[in-house]
Each structure stands twice: as C-alpha cells, then as structure tokens.
C-alpha cells in the first residue's frame, strides 16, 4: 500500500483480513496530512446529492465511478464512521461533515480501524518505483530498501499542496510501468485577472447569490444582450463562447477571484485557457432582477434621494468597499447628484451591475489547487476492481486517477469509494492466489 491519505487508509483497511498482511508505506512523518486540512479542517467527507447528480460533479469522467459507488457510497461511508464513533451532520448544499467539525476525528477513526485490522504502517518511507516482472507488480523500491509484495496499491494522491506529501510521485511511477498520464491540471483553484488593481481595490469582499459567466473571448467581446435580458439560466445560449456559469458565492482577492463558484468553474476555464487565446468572466451582481427591473430600481432610488451622489445611489446596491472602484468603471462623476443622472447613465449603471467583467490571465498554479485534475488514464484501469489493465496486481485509488470533483465532499467520497474497491479487490486477488 503506497500512500497514507484517505484513499490509501481505507484501501489498506479493506485489503487486510482473510490472512492477508498489509504494509502501508507513507512518505511523510504522518498519515492523512491533506485530510486534516480538508474542509478548512472540518472535513467535508461527502454530499447528500442523489447518485445521478453526484456523478455529474465529476464532469464527463463521473460515469466511470458508477461501479465504485455501487459497492461503497455515501451511506456506507457514513455508517463506517458511525461504527468508529464519528457521527456526521448535513449542512447547506448537502455537504456532510463530522458533527464535531473536526477532520482529526475522521483521521482518528481511520487510524483506529487500521490498527484493528492489523495493518503495519511505515512512515518516512518514500516509494520510488514499482517493481514489475513479466507485466505483474511484485513489489516496490523505497528510500528504505525494497519490499516484495503480492499486490501493490498506488494511492499517492495528486500534485497539489505538495507540502502534504502529494507531489505527483504516483504519476511518475505509473508512467514508468507503462501507464498514460492525462496531463495534470489545477482544479478548484482561484483565478488571476488582468484588471488586478480593480480586484485589489475590492479585496476581501465576499458576494453571496451572484452569477458568474465564463466566456472564451476577451471581456469587451462578451455579447451581453441575452445575458442582460435573461434571469433564467435555461435561456442562456450554449454557444461555443460560453464556457459555463455558476450561481453562489464569490470572493475578490488581491490577484483576482476566488470563492466557491470561481473554484467550480476553474477547471473548465483552465482547459479553455490552454485551447483558446482569451478567456473572460462577467459577474451578474443582481441576478434576481432583469436589466429593466434594475434600471427601474435605480430610477426609483434617484427619484427618492435626488440629493445623493452616484456613489450614494450605488451604496444602496453594493457593499461599501465596492462602490468607489465600481464608480470608476462607469464614466460618471462619483459626486454627480442623483437628480442629474439621466437614462443613459442609469442604463450604464444597470449594465455594469449585471456584467462586471474581468479578463482571466491564468489560474494559481497546481501547487495551490484544491484538487489535481488529470492523472492515470481511466481507459487503463478496471472500474470494477481498480486494477491496472496494463500491469497485473497493480491497483490505483484516489486522486492519482484521472478523477476531479467539484467542491462539496465529492473528492473525498471518490477517494474513499475507489480506495474501498481497490482494497477489497486486492484482498480477493491475494486470497485466490494463496488458495492455489
């Protein structure tokens, strides 16, 4: 067993038993380093979404997980933790956390079960290479020498947050034994904008209930007619210039944009950035109102508070820190009195509120991403057993595989489900070999 993250821990637990001895090799000094950081240390282990929606959270690759989820899914995971003393609770967006809000309780439960199943753990042991003979995995070479094995499970994670131990070693080892590695890419990652000064001026402002649109073009080329007319996402055209849209919470940072809806769109944006010359976003700050309704609202405010300034009118529509930077975009003097704001200016204000635009230059690097997209190609792993289709008795689980989910507990559920499947399959395989 290579790697002591959530997928490796549950794989080791399930590989043990029926006389099978399991050795877990972990590169760092401790187990579950990333797990302890997860969910801002509260550990969002899974989500309450029904299966079909759940699979959609992994994009096109989601259907590959159907087998793993059929064997070990959310309720099995919640039961597993309940049996080990960790009761779970559900929060907004179906997110499921330990009731104690403590990721360390999740890790303790896994470690307890690891001990109960007799798994031997060696930390500070970096695996360097998978040994194969005639297309069969027979052991590993490590920083502490060679270890022969009847089967090898690779659970080394992705390449993000390398300080936790996941630094892409598994990709190199899998490639060395003949696997295709889908190019690793940052997923669930903040975005850097060209208009850095504007973002910086609004740094720290968190907006709830806004809609973010991403386009494969420069911001000035965004066609806004439909965007401004529609309040219903179903009306949005699926033209090739619209990359995607998300509704929810967004955060301005000193370099650009963060927050859940930005993270959710980031992988699609990163893919577009590698394929098209320009990517931009538009933030609809008032998605509940149509352009007309918003113009009427501004007019009402101007009529009611004629002595207020442009900035004063906008203060009723925006968080205070956004007002000055926003006014600078409008080409209307900040001190212009509301009674002097004409229809053209009102239209400009409403349009800007419905489509605050930024050009995206890049995302933060892979090391800063919550998840690594890409990894061991799904075409080369048996989805029913997690065994390699290239090297016999080699299994994969967790983020090392080409699976990346949305925020909301999807990545940990994938790690636990594929880990369970890999562990059980390795156990069955070894038992069969020992019987012969």
Part of the chain binding ligand FAD (CB under 6 A), chosen from 77-85, 151-159, 209-217, 294-302: 151-159
Helix (H, G, I), strand (E, B) or coil at 150: coil
Query: Six-digit token pair at 39?
Result: 């969910």
Part of the chain binding ligand FAD (CB under 6 A), chosen from 3-11, 176-184, 212-220, 376-384: 3-11
Q: Does 54 bind ligand FAD (CB under 6 A)?
A: no
Query: Which of 13, 22, 26, 107 contacts ligand FAD by CB under 6 A?
Result: 26
Instruction: Give min distance, CB of 168 to ligand FAD, in A.
Output: 8
Residue 319 burial by Cβ neighbours in a 10 Å radius (0-12, 13-18, 19+): middle
Query: Which of 49, 105, 113, 169 contacts ligand FAD by CB under 6 A?
Result: 169
Q: Cβ closer to ligand FAD: 259 or 398? A: 398
Report helix angle 103-116 to 74-83, nearest 10: 80
Q: Does 156 bind ligand FAD (CB under 6 A)?
A: yes
Side-chain half-sphere CA neighbours of 327 within 13 A: 18
# binding residues, ligand FAD (CB under 6 A): 38
Q: Does 252 bind ligand FAD (CB under 6 A)?
A: no
Nearest C-alpha neighbor of 227 from the set 350, 142, 345: 350
Q: Report how far residue 285's alpha carbon sits from residue 298's, in angstroms, rounded to the nearest whole number.
A: 14
Instruction: Give min distance, CB of 396 to ligand FAD, in A.
Output: 9
Residues 5-24 that bind ligand FAD (CB under 6 A): 5-8
Q: Cβ closer to ligand FAD: 287 or 398? A: 398
Distance set, CA 201 to CA 190, 205, 282, 323 (Å): 17, 9, 17, 10
Site string for ligand FAD, 356-395 (x = CB under 6 A): --------------xx------------------------
Nearest C-alpha neighbor of 185 from the set 96, 38, 61, 63: 61
Q: Report how far residue 157's alpha carbon sits from residue 129's, in angstroms, rounded to the nearest whole number.
A: 16
Instruction: Give min distance, CB of 281 to ligand FAD, in A.
Output: 23
Phi, psi of 88 (to 5 degrees): -105, 160
Part of the chain binding ligand FAD (CB under 6 A), chosen from 33-41, 196-204, 215-223, 227-235: 33-41
Q: Does 302 bind ligand FAD (CB under 6 A)?
A: no
Q: Report how far residue 79's alpha carbon sits from residue 89's, in angstroms, rounded to the nearest whole number.
A: 12
Instruction: Give min distance, CB of 12 to ligand FAD, in A.
Output: 11
Q: Does 3 bind ligand FAD (CB under 6 A)?
A: yes
Q: Cβ closer to ligand FAD: 256 or 398? A: 398
Phi, psi of 129 (to 5 degrees): -160, 145
Q: Does 39 bind ligand FAD (CB under 6 A)?
A: yes
Q: Does 38 bind ligand FAD (CB under 6 A)?
A: yes
Q: Cβ closer to ligand FAD: 18 or 53? A: 53
Q: Report how far residue 294's alpha carbon sits from residue 286's, in angstroms, rounded to the nearest whole number.
A: 8
Strand duo 279-284 + 136-142: pairing: unpaired
Query: Which of 12, 15, 34, 376 contacts ligand FAD by CB under 6 A?
Result: 34
Residue 304 burial by Cβ neighbours in a 10 Å radius (0-12, 13-18, 19+): exposed
Query: Six-digit token pair at 72?
Result: 């070990």
Query: Which of 20, 25, 189, 251 contacts ligand FAD by CB under 6 A?
Result: 25
Binding site for ligand FAD (CB under 6 A): 2-8, 25-28, 33-35, 37-39, 43-44, 126-127, 155-157, 160-161, 165-166, 169, 370-371, 398-399, 409-412, 415
């Amino acid at each position: 067993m290579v790697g002591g993250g959530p997928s490796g821990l549950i794989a080791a637990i399930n590989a043990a038993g029926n006389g099978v001895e399991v050795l877990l090799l972990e590169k760092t000094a401790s187990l579950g380093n990333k797990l302890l950081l997860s969910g801002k240390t509260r550990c969002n282990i899974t989500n309450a979404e029904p299966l079909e929606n759940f699979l959609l959270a992994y994009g096109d690759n989601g259907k590959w997980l159907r087998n793993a989820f059929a064997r070990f899914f959310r309720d099995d995971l919640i039961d597993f933790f309940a049996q080990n003393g960790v009761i779970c609770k559900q929060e907004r967006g179906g997110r499921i956390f330990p009731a104690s809000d403590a990721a360390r309780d999740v890790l303790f439960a896994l470690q307890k079960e690891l001990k109960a199943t007799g798994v031997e753990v060696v930390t500070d042991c970096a695996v360097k290479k998978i040994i194969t003979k005639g297309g069969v995995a027979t052991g590993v070479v490590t920083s502490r020498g060679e270890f022969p094995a009847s089967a090898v499970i690779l659970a080394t994670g992705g390449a993000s947050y390398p300080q936790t131990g996941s630094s892409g070693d598994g990709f190199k080892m899998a490639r060395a034994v003949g696997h295709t590695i889908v190019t690793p890419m940052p997923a669930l990652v903040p975005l850097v904008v060209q208009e850095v000064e504007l973002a910086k001026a609004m740094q720290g402002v968190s907006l709830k209930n806004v809609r973010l649109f991403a386009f494969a073009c420069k911001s000035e080329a965004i066609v806004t007619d439909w965007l401004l007319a529609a309040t219903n996402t179903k009306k949005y055209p699926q033209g090739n210039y619209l990359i995607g849209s998300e509704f929810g919470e967004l955060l301005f940072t000193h370099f650009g944009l963060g927050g859940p809806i930005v993270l959710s769109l980031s992988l699609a944006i990163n893919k577009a950035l590698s394929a098209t010359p320009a990517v931009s976003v538009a933030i609809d700050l008032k998605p509940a109102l149509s352009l007309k309704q918003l113009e009427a609202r501004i007019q009402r405010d101007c009529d009611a508070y004629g002595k207020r300034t442009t900035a004063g009118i906008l203060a009723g529509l925006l968080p205070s820190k956004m007002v000055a930077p926003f006014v600078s975009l409008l080409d209307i003097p900040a001190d212009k009195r509301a009674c002097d704001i004409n229809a053209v200016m009102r239209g400009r204000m409403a349009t800007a509120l419905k489509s605050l635009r930024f050009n995206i230059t890049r995302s933060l690097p892979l090391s800063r991403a919550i998840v690594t997209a890409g990894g061991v190609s799904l075409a080369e792993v048996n989805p029913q057993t997690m065994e390699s289709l290239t090297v016999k008795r080699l299994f994969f689980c967790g983020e090392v595989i080409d699976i990346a989910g949305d925020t909301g507990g999807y990545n940990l559920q994938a790690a636990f489900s594929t880990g369970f499947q890999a562990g059980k399959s390795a156990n069955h395989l070894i038992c069969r070999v020992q019987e012969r």
